[in-house]
């Protein structure tokens, strides 16, 4: 497009935007429509990997844990979005190795921001972590932005990672993925909740797409369930450490 025409369009848009702002619900609808279309394509392209188990995410967990050899060796399990602890308890039972470490991250006061009509505070546990009765498990209470950076600075990585990311929100999901980027290695496994969500299409799926595009993330999709509402993937190439000095 010629530069002169571009400048005229820019000037015209500036004048129009002063008096005719597009209402936020309209822009939200546009964003959701874009990601619904992208989700539909993703689901169609990976239909052969989808388990016909409805919303039973634990069938997906069990398949991946078995196929990836995660039941009989020490792992570091990181969970983002624990709420009542059902997923945490399930993985604790699936991996009984005494050398495994389980770390749960959550405010336990519910969603910190609205989630496409689901209000702030939904899923609250009254600020109290669940009782799991396993000394291998630690809880990190607070926003991810408050708890994860210090945890990563203090924790040495010496065993395979299994990450369960059930943070719901675009902002929370993208923050966690970005912080974990330098830690993820080939063979690590990610479990993504609310991935291809028809009700919340511009959150987890969008965050994951942005992360992949920004970091050159190479992965293999292992399996999905409920039309990719839940997804499991394995890291195939170590991340480039964009935070490294020099």
DSSP state letters, 147-193: HHHHHHHHPPP-SEEEEEE---SHHHHHHHHHHHTTT--TT-EEEET
- Considering only residues 215 and 161, tell me which one the structure prediction assigns the higher pLDDT: 161
Cα-based distances in Å from 11 to 2, 3, 19, 160:
15, 12, 14, 54
pLDDT category, 3, cuts 50, 70, 90?
A: confident
Q: Is the pLDDT of residue 244 over 50?
A: no
Mean pLDDT value across residues 157-173: 96
- Regarding the domain with residue range 39-235, which homologous superfamily does it belong to in the CATH classification? Vaccinia Virus protein VP39 (3.40.50.150)
Mean pLDDT value across residues 149-155: 96
- Considering only residues 30 and 25, tell me which one the structure prediction assigns the higher pLDDT: 30
Helix (H) or strand (E) holding 31: helix 24-45
The candidate with the shortest Cα–Cα distance to 115, out of 197, 192, 10, is 197
Q: What is the pLDDT of residues 34-58, one digit of tens each?
A: 999 999 999 999 999 999 888 889 9
Q: Is the pLDDT of residue 237 over 70?
A: yes
pLDDT category, 246, cuts 50, 70, 90?
A: very low
Q: Is the pLDDT of residue 100 over 80?
A: yes
Using CB atoms within 10 Å of the CB of residue 119, give its burial: 0 to 12 exposed, 13 to 18 middle, 19+ buried: exposed
* Angle, vertex CA 205, rays to CA 199 and CA 211, nearest 5: 155
């Amino acid at each position: 497009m010629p530069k002169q025409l571009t400048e005229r369009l820019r000037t015209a848009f500036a004048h129009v935007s002063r008096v005719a702002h597009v209402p936020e619900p309209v822009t939200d609808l546009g964003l959701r429509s874009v990601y619904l279309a992208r989700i539909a394509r993703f689901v169609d392209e990976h239909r052969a990997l989808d388990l016909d188990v409805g919303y039973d995410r634990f069938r997906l967990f069990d398949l991946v844990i078995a196929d990836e050899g995660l039941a009989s060796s020490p792992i570091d399990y990181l969970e983002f979005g624990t709420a009542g602890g059902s997923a945490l308890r399930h993985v604790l039972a699936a991996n009984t190795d005494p050398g495994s470490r389980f770390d749960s991250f959550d405010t336990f006061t519910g969603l910190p921001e609205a989630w496409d009509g689901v209000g702030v505070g939904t899923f609250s546990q009254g600020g109290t972590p669940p009782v799991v009765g396993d000394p291998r498990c630690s809880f990190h209470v607070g926003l991810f932005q408050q708890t994860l950076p210090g945890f990563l600075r203090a924790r040495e990585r010496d065993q395979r990672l299994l990450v369960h990311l059930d943070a719901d929100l675009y902002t929370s999901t993208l923050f966690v993925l970005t912080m974990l980027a330098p830690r993820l290695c080939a063979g690590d496994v990610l479990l993504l909740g609310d991935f291809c969500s028809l009700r919340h299409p511009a959150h987890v799926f969008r965050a994951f797409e942005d992360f992949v595009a920004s970091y050159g993330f190479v992965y293999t999709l292992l399996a999905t369930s409920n039309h990719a509402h839940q997804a499991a993937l394995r890291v195939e190439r170590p991340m480039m450490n964009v935070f490294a000095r020099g």
